[in-house]
Amino acid sequence: MSKTYRIAAIPGDGIGNEVVPEGQRVLEAAARKHGGFRLDWTHFDWSCERFLKTGRMMPEDGIDRLRGFDAIYLGAVGFPGVPDHVSLWGLLIPIRRDFHQYINLRPVRLLDGVESPLKGRKPGDIDFYVVRENNEGEYSSIGGRLYAGTDMEMALQQSVFTRRGCDRVMRYAFELATKRRKHVASATKSNGIIHTMPYWDERFAAIGKEYPDVRTEQYHIDILTAHFVRNPDWFDVVVGSNLFGDILSDLGPAVVGSIGIAPGGNINPEKEHPSMFEPVHGSAPDIAGKGIANPIGQIWSGAMMLEHLGETAAASSIERAIETVLAAGEPRTRDLGGTASTKELGEAITAALG
């Protein structure tokens, strides 16, 4: 009996509308090739364009509408004319929080055929995961302004670090490391941030004790960013708070080539709620509408979605197809030094599916 997965597709803004269809093309082809499952898509036009017409990124019952889906496949949100905090807090953050997608997982892998901006790095030299806490930390809505517009004006923003929140993201990182090279590095700043970060370190040490076979290291975020550039081969799994993880998970993809190929997952590991898969990049207004965006980040995020759904064979065949096309050297989009369109690259990856 063939399984059907209900997928909510939210292309969003800008190049999201160009790369999501290519992701769907490859996912559909992978489902046909592997058999045993089908994908039932429902499209939502939730976006900044919708915000400008209706005053909301998504309808009031948006979260309830998504609840019954097996997964969410998102492009990107954000566009000039709508402040970025509106698009983020009006759509992405509520989905991540209400569905307890407390893991933001971003693989960082240097692939054959992609040039790293770092001198002398070869495919295989860089291969690690950034595990970012995705529900609390520095990204909290607690705070406000006092005496606005006067010379006593002040802004306050609270960080929230709970034992439950720290422990579960750290356990996820350690579990992932047990299946890999058994090393977890933690991003901290306990020298400067004297309440939350020593607490983060304390929980990291406590959870680390549960995994005696996994080696650990902790770095202050400032030197850690330098190590990402100078010694990316040191890392296997890197765990960080919401803010530090956010920064590291853009820096990671940057050291392995184009941001256009980097995938990501917002994961509810217990599978009590739908998880959401989206590329690391944003809506790229500078190239939107031209059909030249690289669709690989979106396609690879689709592979992560299939993996999460348990369709591991189809997921790895998509990853292999991406690797084959990149290693062949063409077609390539402009960010990788070629002239191909978004569609041409999507079609080539579809054709390369084994």
Ligand X SMILES: NC(=O)c1ccc[n+]([C@@H]2O[C@H](COP(=O)([O-])OP(=O)(O)OC[C@H]3O[C@@H](n4cnc5c(N)ncnc54)[C@H](O)[C@@H]3O)[C@@H](O)[C@H]2O)c1
User: Residues in the site for ligand X, rule: CB under 6 A?
Assistant: 15, 19, 76-79, 84, 92, 259-260, 278, 281-287, 293-294, 297, 335
The C-alpha angle 96, 109, 129, rounded to 5 degrees, equals 40
How many helices (H) does the chain have, and how many strands (E)? Answer: 12, 12
Q: How far is the CB of 258 from ligand X (least distance, A)?
A: 6
List the structure tokens of 160: 């929230």
**Sequential DSSP letters for 94-163:** HHHHHTT--EEEEEEEPPTT---SSTT--TTS-EEEEEEE-SSBT----EEEESTTSTT-EEEE--B--H
DSSP class of 337: T
List the structure tokens of 249: 């998970």
Give the up-direction half-sphere exposure of residue 193: CA atoms within 13 A in the CB hemisphere.
20
Q: How far is the CB of 264 from ligand X (least distance, A)?
A: 8
Under 8 Å between Cβ of 221 and 256 = no
CB neighbour list of residue 270: distance below 8 Å, 6 or more residues apart: 100
